[in-house]
Each structure stands twice: as C-alpha cells, then as structure tokens.
Amino acid sequence: MDIKQKELLKSKIEQQIEQYIDDIKGMEEMTQPVKPENSLGRISRMDAINTKGVLESSLRNKRNKLNKLKVALQKINEPNFGICDNCETPIQEGRLMFLPESTKCIKCAARR
C-alpha cells in the first residue's frame, strides 16, 4: 500500500470514527431506562423494553467497531499495517477500504 492509498484510507477511517461517535451519542440517548411512571400501557411498555434491549446490543457493536477503527488509525503508519495476522500476506486493498479495521485477509477471515 503506497502513501497516497494510506492517506485516503486514513481519511476514510477518520470520517468513520466521527460518524460512529455521532451515532453512539444518539443511541445512548435512546437507551435510557424505561421509567415505570410513563403512561404506557403494559404491551407498549414491554415493546419499549424490548426495543431498548435491541438498541443496547447495537450500541455495544458500534462501540466495539469504534475501538477497532481507533486502533487501525493508530497503526496505519506501522510497517505491518495491512498485513494478515495469520498468513502474513498483504490484505487486499478493497477489503481495507471496506473494513479498515481488518487484521486478516479474506481467506484467513473465512477460515475462522
């Protein structure tokens, strides 16, 4: 991966980090506890609690992805960035552009 491609990838990672931070802030507001004094019916309250659980799961996933993106941004200038952790071959540029936090090539990731 040449310098121009790394700069493009770095810019993309920074944009994704900003987007995930904004998404997380919005989701944190939507995952506040469902207060019992709200004038919801029993079914509506159960639906609100279920929705809250789904949002909390999504929030955990977004936080996890954000942390991985931050790590990728820190490591982007290291010589082993873009090299598969398993087979030590270069990770395809298309994969890195789509999943910049990737640490495995497509073949190794498929083997799990």
pLDDT tens-digit series, residues 27-80: 888 777 766 655 556 667 677 778 888 889 999 999 999 999 999 999 999 988
Per-residue model confidence (pLDDT) at position 36: 64
Q: For residue 103, is it within any domain?
A: no
29 vs 82, which has greater pLDDT? 82
Distance from C-alpha of 18 to C-alpha of 13, rounded to nearest angstrom = 9
Number of structural domains, the chain? 1
Q: For residue 89, is it within any domain?
A: no
Q: For residue 111, is it within any domain?
A: no
Q: pTM, whole model, 2 decimals?
A: 0.78
Q: For residue 97, is it within any domain?
A: no
14-29 residue pLDDT tens: 999 999 999 999 888 8
Q: What percent of the chain has pLDDT over 70?
A: 89
Distance from C-alpha of 29 to C-alpha of 112, rounded to nearest angstrom = 35
Q: For residue 100, is it within any domain?
A: no
Q: For residue 19, is it within any domain?
A: yes
Domain limits at 8?
Answer: 3-79
